[in-house]
Amino acid sequence: MKLLRYGPEGQEKPGLLDANGTIRDLSGHIADIADDALTPESLARIAALDPASLPAVPGTPRIGACVGHVRKFVAIGLNYADHAAESGMAVPAEPVVFNKWTSCIVGPNDDVKIPQGSTKTDWEVELGVVIGSRASNLSEAEAMAAVAGYCVVNDVSEREWQIERGGTWDKGKGFDTFGPIGPWLVTTDEISDPGNLDMWLDIDGKRFQTGSTRTMVFNVAALVAYCSKLMTLLPGDVITTGTPPGVGMGQKPPVYLKGGEVMHLGITGLGEQRQQVTRA
């Protein structure tokens, strides 16, 4: 299934994208694509519905972040060896874990705002993993059962704050609008192998990132298991799993967003995002 949230910011309703690309309203069955609506039992009830029985949503509404009420937005750094190389950093022996503040989350096509004074705002297309079950201390063999589905994430990053302002990556990762997620939450039954998905990102029509989750250092099961040892994972938590090479920081010379650009990115089977870059 492809689940989504549509409507004005702060007033999003739950929806389902049917096989014809029509948005169907789920608000008669669940309050939101969030929390316990993402448990295996709830997803099974939604999957049993006939999409044609659900009201069709007219027009072309705004698409919001595909998960509501995200309590933890966990991110993984340097999870592609070639991206670590372009960043001048060693491939990590264990996952590098940091946070994106949940207040940075926006819809997949909402504007991304460069922070005041920023000269090093950058892009990162990433595979997002949405948790569907409360879980802690999982083994890798148990980890995939805790996953509800997947989505596209743009891990927008301010490199000066991330790297040059005291060494805490979180500083540069959670500015407002730095977390577009969606358009869809695609449930695990539609993605047979999250370790074999092509991904790409363009700036103003120029391809900067071309990669595949095949080259991740730590796969989805390893990351979910590892994070579950650091914290209790809850339904609706999002783990974004790292980016392939081609970020602005890795260009020679570096290229950063100035405002006015359009970022266009996507992952096979998970949809596409398009953001206008503005200045705060």
* Mean pLDDT on 101-105: 98
* 77 and 45 assigned to the same domain: no
Is residue 63 one of the residues assigned to a domain? no
One domain, residues 88 and 199:
yes
Residue 17 and residue 141 in one domain: no
Q: For residue 60, tell me if it sits in a domain.
A: no
Annotate 176-209 with b (16+ C-beta within 10 A) or e (fewer): ebbbbbbbbbbbbeebeebeebebbbbbeeeebb
User: What is the structure's pLDDT at 51?
Assistant: 97
pLDDT tens, position by position, 185-200: 999 999 999 999 999 9
Statement to judge: residues 183 and 112 lie in one domain? yes
Domain that holds residue 200: 73-279
Q: What Å distances lie between residue 83 and 30, 125, 152, 212, CA to CA?
A: 40, 12, 18, 12
pLDDT tens per residue, range 13-45:
999 999 999 999 999 999 999 999 999 999 999
The answer to whether residue 12 is domain-embedded is yes
- Are residues 36 and 156 both part of a single domain? no
Identify whether 44 is part of a domain: yes
Q: Are residues 215 and 84 in the same domain?
A: yes
Are 44 and 166 within one domain? no
Query: Residue 269 and residue 154: Cα distance in Å, rounded?
Result: 16
User: Do 149 and 259 reside in the same domain of the chain?
Assistant: yes
Averaged pLDDT of the chain: 96
On whether the CB atoms of residues 67 and 153 are closer than 8 A, the answer is: no
**pLDDT for 133-151, tens place per residue?**
999 999 999 999 999 999 9
CA–CA distance, 166 with 163 (Å, rounded to integer): 7
The predicted structure's pLDDT at residue 1? 97
pLDDT at 79: 95
Considering the domain architecture, whether residues 45 and 106 belong to the same structural domain is answered as no
**What would the 3-class secondary structure string for 190-211 be?**
HCCCCCCCEEEEEECCEEEEEE
Q: Is residue 58 part of a domain?
A: no
67 inside domain: no
Looking at the fold, whether 41 and 116 belong to one and the same domain comes out as no
For position 163, which CATH number holds? Answer: 3.90.850.10
What spatial distance separates the first Cα and last Cα of the chain, rounded to whole Å? 36
- Which tokens go with 148? 């509800």
- Whether the predicted pLDDT of 88 surpasses 90: no
Domain annotation covers residue 16: yes
Same domain, 118 and 23: no
| Same-domain pairing of 78 and 123 | yes
The total of structural domains in the chain comes to 2
Q: Is 87's pLDDT higher than 80? A: no
64 in a structural domain: no
